[in-house]
Structure 1
């Protein structure tokens, strides 16, 4: 079992995510207020709400993440670079870029690598996450693209956009094993299927570095209720000499 000491530490492994494309501004404000009271590593929001998130969370240590080429990744590199620059100007601290899956299927690894390199150059020391949409890939493609991402300088490989069916825990563990074997230096972020503290714990135990989840608030709240708010009144113990 993963040795999580408290709910604050658990929240630090979670990127609380809301990429709902029909969310209202009031609903987003509520989402951000929930995040504000919890020590998440980051919130992940659409480009529309990056500025609002930066303003709402300015007095916290929570980073603001967003997405580039989302959710299909088939924009050209120039478009992704322009989007990256715009989001950085708005204050984004972390970005995930969806790769061009057509390039991957055609084994055009040089194009994928060059795109990652160019975007990472713009981002500097801010975290670049490469989203590879694992459900669309076989294991050989996963092993190939994660090597390209690591070599090109990506900080994280991320497993899903959330727009496909979530992976089962066994599939998640398999993917983590592939990433660790073929690209041991790149960090791993899991998205999809992590909707409870139990699954979060299993994913972290398997070797993930971060979890991205729409259920981040509920995961931390449940952990806190189970592990920190349990009240037990001990019974008096009487010791007798033998």
Structure 2
């Protein structure tokens, strides 16, 4: 499971999360050997154990994506100034549903320009989009020079990642961007299906369960 572990952003984005919860997340992430932790921006700055190789990912415009682009850019820049290596931003999903992909691209570009030295992942909320809209949003992420296109916040009622969406996103970006599958990955089998479809990063809250091969618990909201 080491190969899967190195693709995981170990995630805690519940609104009720406390600083103690985040500290426990970091300890568990270090123990499991995952790639990063992904948290809310209000939790920064964070302290990692000495010698830790963990990366720090932070969400932006989360979870609705309806924030003004300038607000997203400022939020992302502050997160990076406070130690974030990566930013996972949410697009204006409504703009994608309307086919206004120039607006989607401009939104992404505003954040890209605010954090030139950080990894930018673009959450398109794929379960709320048609195939055509997924393609358009993914192309906008490529044009705006993001680093990843990402399926989901994990909080949208339409659902999280699907194999079909991951495969379509991977086909669209043609290796120019990474593809992050997130939302509803609760078993090793889920993770393996997403990777086979083209995912190069995984957003997971149940990382220990996934990496142990345990049966998934009852599904709930979030990652």
Q: Same fold (TM over 0.5)?
A: yes
2:95 aligns with 103
Cα root mean square deviation, aligned: 1.7
Quote how far apart the aligned CAs of 1:58 are: 5.0
Name the CA shift for 1:110/1:57 in 2 (closer, same or farther; >3 Å). farther
Measure the CA separation in 2 of the matches of 1:186 and 1:41.
18
The CA distance in 2 between the partners of 1:48 and 1:73, in whole Å, is 17
User: How far does the alpha carbon of each residue in 1:80-125 deviate from its partner, in whole angstroms, 9 at most, with x for none?
Assistant: 1110111011100000110012222232222221221222122224
Match of 2:180 in 1: 189
Q: Radius of gyration: which is bigger?
A: 1
Q: How does 1:221-232 map to 2 (within 5 A)?
A: 221-222=212-213
Matched residue, 1:232: none
- Are the counterparts in 1 of residues 65 and 91 from structure 2 also a CA contact under 8 Å? yes
Q: Deviations over 1:117-145 (max 9, x none)?
A: 22212222421000011121111111111
Give the structure with the higher percent helix.
1
Indicate whether 1:33 and 2:27 are aligned. yes
> What's the counterpart of residue 48 of structure 1?
42
Answer yes or no: is 1:207 the counterpart of 2:194: no
CA distance in 2, matches of 1:115, 1:180: 21
When normalised by structure 2's length, the TM-score is 0.88
Q: Secondary structure at the match of 1:37?
A: helix
Q: Is the 8 A contact 2:86 2:118 kept in 1?
A: yes
Partner of 1:121: 113
Classify the secondary structure of the residue corresponding to 2:146: coil
Structure 2 contact 191–202 (Cα < 8 Å) conserved: yes
